[in-house]
């Protein structure tokens, strides 16, 4: 046995290979299932017990030496293959291939900016499901049953909901599942669960069944906010929105409010900021008006507070909501909303330097 081990040791030391096949042949010959080293291990079982220690150690040395030598030959052969293909692998002075860094998506950048501003004001961030039920998206928000926003053209429905009755073949369902059309649903969930006072913003993806164009998309992102406490007034809302607008668009920014309507707020308003491109003089971004519309807001309707179990005699609050893509479009003067969804690297690379 001793001689066999020594002979194989010499063979391992003298191993040579020119091709991958040579290396593989050597491996099979020595270490394969029927290889000579493997066979020695079988033979080792019959060795006298007092010799086992010595031979065992030698055999292991042999096996490791063979494995190392084969790995070394494999590497040599691979390098040879690469260098004959182009010669580059052996040129140690060549600069390395730099790893390509990605960049943050403009929608993420603006969402983070909005979230950071409201965090500073003491708001928490809440998230909720994108597949929602009718209650959280519409019913609890005071949408009357026949409100047009519930119709098929605006909402993507996921399932019919619970069957409540069937008369003359007409089935009536309740509380269908749908893709949320706004993140106000998260505000409802917050009002249902969280102790008062509430100060929360809800960023998230929303879905509306709209034809895709430069100014509309069926998927977009919102940040909505909600503030509920005793004695919250319209003046508080106006101040919060003014401070937000100045943080977002610059300290000179002015806001104006126009009366509007939302089922869940009363009174409601649409907020414009003075155009940060022309400083309010009028340009093609603000279409000559000097103003840019950025969000909807209003005092939470008492029906909405009561639907979530909040005493509307004691508490009041305001809510607001804005589209992230719209703000990003204003910020960077992007003319076509579809740019945000098409993953065109030429567009996304424009934001590489924005942190």
Binding part of the chain for ligand PHE, among 58-66, 232-240, 313-321, 334-342 by CB under 6 A, reads 313-321
Nearest to 316 by CA among 326, 306, 327: 306
Of positions 155, 265, 316, 339, contacts ligand PHE by CB under 6 A? 265
Closest CA to 222 of 257, 182, 195, 188: 182
# binding residues, ligand PHE (CB under 6 A): 11
Q: Does 320 bind ligand PHE (CB under 6 A)?
A: yes
| Candidate ranges 15-23, 39-47, 94-102, 316-324; the one touching ligand PHE (CB under 6 A) | 316-324
Phi and psi at 81, nearest 5°, equal -60, -45
Classify residue 338 by its DSSP letter: G
Q: Are 175 and 162 in contact (CB under 8 A)?
A: yes
Strands 255-262 and 219-230, by their bridges, are unpaired
Token representation of residue 148: 């047009």
Q: Is 27 in the site for ligand PHE (CB under 6 A)?
A: no
The whole-angstrom separation of Cα 245 and Cα 331 is: 12
Within residues 165-224, the interface with ligand PHE by CB under 6 A covers 182, 184, 224
Interface stretch with ligand PHE, choices 82-90, 107-115, 171-179, 296-304 (CB under 6 A)? 296-304
Nearer to ligand PHE, 262 or 340 (CB): 262
Residue 3: CB atoms within 10 A of its CB come to 7
Nearest-approach distance from CB 278 to ligand PHE, in angstroms: 27
Q: Which is nearer to ligand PHE, 291 or 318 (CB)?
A: 318
Q: Report the residue number, 65 or 115, with the smaller CB distance to ligand PHE.
A: 115
- Positive or negative CA dihedral for 122, 128, 130, 133? negative
User: Quick check: 298 binds ligand PHE (CB under 6 A)?
Assistant: yes
For 271, other C-beta atoms within 10 Å of its C-beta total 24
Point out the residue whose Cβ comes nearest to ligand PHE: 321
Could you list the residues that contact ligand PHE (CB under 6 A)? 182, 184, 224, 262, 265, 296-298, 319-321
């Amino acid at each position: 046995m001793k001689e066999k081990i020594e002979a194989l040791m010499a063979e391992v030391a003298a191993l040579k290979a020119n091709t991958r096949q040579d290396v593989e042949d050597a491996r099979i010959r020595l270490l394969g299932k029927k290889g000579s080293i493997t066979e020695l291990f079988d033979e080792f079982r019959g060795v006298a017990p007092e010799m086992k220690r010595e031979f065992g150690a030698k055999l292991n040395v042999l096996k490791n030496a063979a494995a190392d030598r084969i790995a070394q030959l494999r590497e040599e052969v691979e390098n040879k293959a690469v260098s004959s293909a182009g010669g580059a692998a052996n040129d140690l002075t060549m600069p390395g291939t730099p790893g390509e860094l990605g960049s943050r998506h403009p929608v993420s950048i603006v969402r983070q900016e909005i979230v950071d501003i409201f965090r500073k004001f003491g708001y928490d961030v809440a998230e909720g499901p994108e597949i929602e039920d009718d209650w959280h998206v519409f019913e609890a928000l005071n949408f009357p049953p026949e409100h047009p926003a519930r119709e098929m053209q605006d909402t993507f429905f996921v399932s019919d909901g619970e069957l409540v009755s069937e008369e003359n073949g007409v089935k009536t369902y309740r509380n269908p599942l749908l893709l949320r059309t706004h993140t106000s649903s998260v505000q409802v969930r917050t009002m249902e669960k969280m102790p008062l006072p509430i100060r929360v913003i809800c960023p998230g993806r929303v879905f509306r069944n709209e034809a895709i164009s430069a100014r509309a998309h069926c998927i977009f992102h919102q940040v909505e906010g909600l503030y509920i406490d005793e004695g919250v007034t319209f003046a508080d809302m106006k101040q919060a929105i003014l401070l937000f607008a100045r943080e977002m668009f610059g300290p000179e920014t002015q806001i104006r409010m126009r009366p509007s309507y939302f089922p869940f707020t009363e009174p409601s308003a649409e907020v414009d900021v003075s155009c940060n491109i022309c400083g309010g003089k009028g340009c093609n971004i603000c279409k000559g008006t000097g103003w840019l519309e950025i969000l909807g807001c209003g005092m939470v309707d008492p029906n909405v507070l009561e639907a979530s179990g909040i005493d509307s005699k004691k508490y009041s609050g305001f809510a607001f909501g804005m589209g992230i893509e719209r703000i990003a479009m204003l910020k960077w003067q992007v003319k076509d909303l579809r740019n945000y969804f098409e993953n065109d690297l030429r567009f996304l690379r424009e934001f590489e330097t924005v942190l």
